């Protein structure tokens, strides 16, 4: 039988860091989504909009891949942070609209 104890302080701090990284990545991701939609709707450069879209996907994929190398808990925390970042951006956009 294995003994599962509470996580240590460094482990908790790393989990908080993964969550914070996910929130900031999510905020940046959905801000870039807003910019790419504005570029597409505004009739601006389509190439620039496509580059924003590819950059968005690449950044999110790289962040999640990096977290997956650290383990399941960091990956889940990064994904939860992405959704939290989305909520922050959506609330900010709702206030400005």
pLDDT tens digits, 6-57: 888 999 999 999 999 999 999 999 999 988 888 889 877 888 888 989 999 9
- d(CA 59, CA 53) in angstroms, rounded, equals 10
Domain ranges of the chain: 15-96
**pLDDT of amino acid 46:** 85
| Per-residue confidence (pLDDT) for residue 2, from 0 to 100 | 60
Q: What is the DSSP letter of 36?
A: H
User: Sign of the CA dihedral 32, 33, 34, 39?
Assistant: positive
- Say how far apart CA 14 and CA 59 lie, in whole Å: 20
Whether the predicted pLDDT of 93 surpasses 60: yes
Residue 88: its pLDDT value, please?
A: 92
Q: Is residue 1 scored above 60 in pLDDT?
A: no
Q: pTM here?
A: 0.85
């Amino acid at each position: 039988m294995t003994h599962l104890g509470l996580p240590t302080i460094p482990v908790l701090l790393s989990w908080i860091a993964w969550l914070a990284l996910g929130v900031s990545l999510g905020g940046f991701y959905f801000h870039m989504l807003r910019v790419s939609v504005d570029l597409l709707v505004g009739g601006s450069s389509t190439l620039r909009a496509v580059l924003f879209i590819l950059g968005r996907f690449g950044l999110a994929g790289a962040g999640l891949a990096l977290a997956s190398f650290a383990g399941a808990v960091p990956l889940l925390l990064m994904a939860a942070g992405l959704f939290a970042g989305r909520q922050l951006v959506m609330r900010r956009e709702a206030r400005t609209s």
